[in-house]
């Protein structure tokens, strides 16, 4: 089945038609800058443009950097605060004229990784963490998603983990790979003490440089780099929409 996957981020909105049987892009990826301010209506209009660009008349899966309950966005990370309480599903369906499944960006990335990437055929408890501007988390128990976990906001040494273990923190604070790797390790060790997972998968753009910081990870749990990289959100959104 083919589904249009859309990934809404703080700086770009990306879409492509995905073959949900193998996770491959059937089209080129289209990227449009996120409007500023990134209010729900303005962002929905861009998703409408993406849908029109692909001449799309079928299901859409769409990520947002937010907690999503029954199509309503409950938080807003790196997008306008008016997303809090917005009927994201309704806005996107009106803008595109198509049925839309809306889900958290990290949950979508996790869905893609579990189906086509590092989590394939892995059972037990798998925790996928995307280390980017924020920390996104998704949890899978025997392959089934537990949505909206927000484990990136655990408090470590009195601070939100996002202030220590994101790629943004690494760049802004000029951490060496060793300094940053130790902070990521501390975060994973804390998470491990709370949920005892069977596998950690580290995603986000920085995961392609995993050789630089994985040597500093001291947790007991197996850790693997994500495989789908920047395709994960689009692919996961499309796959999640199949069940809609
Ligand atoms: C948000 C999550 C989101 C993650 C990645 C965090 O700040 O709280 O909802 O998944 O950033 O965008």
Q: What is the per-residue DSSP string for 139-156?
A: EEETTEEE----GGG-EE
Residue with tokens 């199509």: 71
**Residue with the nearest Cα to atom 11 of ligand 1?**
134
Q: Is the CB of 160 under 6 A from ligand 1?
A: no
pLDDT at 244: 76
Q: Is the CB of 192 under 6 A from ligand 1?
A: no
Tell me how far the alpha carbon of residue 136 lies from the centroid of ligand 1, in angstroms. 5
- Taking the CA of residue 104 as reference, the ligand 1 atom at the shortest distance is 10
Tell me how far the alpha carbon of residue 153 lies from the centroid of ligand 1, in angstroms. 9
Integer CA distances (angstroms), 99 to 47, 57, 190, 241, in order: 13, 9, 39, 9
Do residues 225 and 202 make contact, with C-beta atoms less than 8 angstroms apart? yes
**Residue with the nearest Cα to atom 9 of ligand 1?**
66
Q: Is 20 exposed, middle or buried (0-12, 13-18, 19+ CB in 10 A)?
A: buried
Q: How far is CA 42 from the centre of its chain?
A: 21
| SS percent in the chain: helix, strand, coil, step 5 | 40, 25, 35
Low-confidence ranges of the chain (pLDDT < 70): none
Tell me how far the alpha carbon of residue 55 lies from the centroid of ligand 1, in angstroms. 30
β-strand pairing of 2-8 with 60-64 = parallel
Integer CA distances (angstroms), 216 to 186, 219, 225, in order: 10, 9, 14
pLDDT at 4: 98
Tell me how far the alpha carbon of residue 120 lies from the centroid of ligand 1, in angstroms. 23
**Residue with the nearest Cα to atom 7 of ligand 1?**
134
Tell me how far the alpha carbon of residue 212 lies from the centroid of ligand 1, in angstroms. 24
β-strand pairing of 199-203 with 222-225 = parallel
Q: Is the CB of 106 under 6 A from ligand 1?
A: yes
> Ligand 1: which of 7, 64, 66, 77 to mutate, most ligand atoms within 8 Å of CB?
77
**Residue with the nearest Cα to atom 1 of ligand 1?**
77
Q: Which residues of 29-54 are buried (b: 16+ CB within 10 A; e: fewer)?
A: eeeeebeeebbbeebbebbbebbeeb
Three-state SS for 177? Answer: helix
Helix spans in 117-199 (H) = 162-165, 167-173, 177-195
Tell me how far the alpha carbon of residue 75 lies from the centroid of ligand 1, in angstroms. 9
Long-range contacts, 152-160 (Cβ 8 Å, 24+): 152/106, 154/187, 154/190, 154/191, 154/194, 156/186, 156/187, 156/190, 157/186
Integer CA distances (angstroms), 223 to 3, 126, 190, in order: 31, 10, 14
């Amino acid at each position: 089945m083919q589904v249009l996957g859309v990934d809404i981020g703080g700086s770009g909105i990306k879409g492509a038609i995905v073959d949900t049987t193998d996770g491959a892009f059937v089209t080129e990826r289209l990227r449009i800058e996120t409007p500023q301010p990134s209010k729900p209506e303005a962002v929905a209009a861009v998703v409408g443009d993406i849908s029109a660009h692909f001449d799309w008349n079928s299901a859409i899966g769409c990520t947002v950097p937010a907690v999503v309950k029954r199509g309503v966005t409950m938080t807003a990370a790196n997008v306008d605060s008016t997303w809090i309480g917005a009927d994201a599903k309704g806005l996107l369906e009106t803008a595109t004229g198509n049925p839309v499944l809306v889900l958290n960006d990290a949950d979508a990335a996790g869905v893609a990784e579990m189906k086509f990437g590092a989590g394939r055929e892995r059972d037990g408890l798998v925790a996928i963490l995307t280390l980017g501007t924020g920390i996104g988390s998704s949890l899978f128990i025997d392959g089934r998603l537990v949505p909206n976990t927000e484990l990136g906001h655990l408090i470590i040494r009195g601070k939100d983990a996002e202030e220590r273990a994101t790629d943004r923190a690494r760049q802004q604070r000029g951490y060496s790979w060793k300094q940053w790797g130790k902070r990521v390790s501390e975060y994973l060790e804390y998470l491990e003490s709370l949920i005892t997972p069977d596998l950690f998968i580290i995603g986000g753009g920085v995961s392609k440089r995993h050789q630089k910081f994985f040597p500093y990870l001291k947790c007991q749990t197996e850790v693997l780099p994500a495989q789908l990289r920047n395709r994960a959100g689009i692919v996961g959104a499309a796959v999640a929409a199949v069940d809609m």
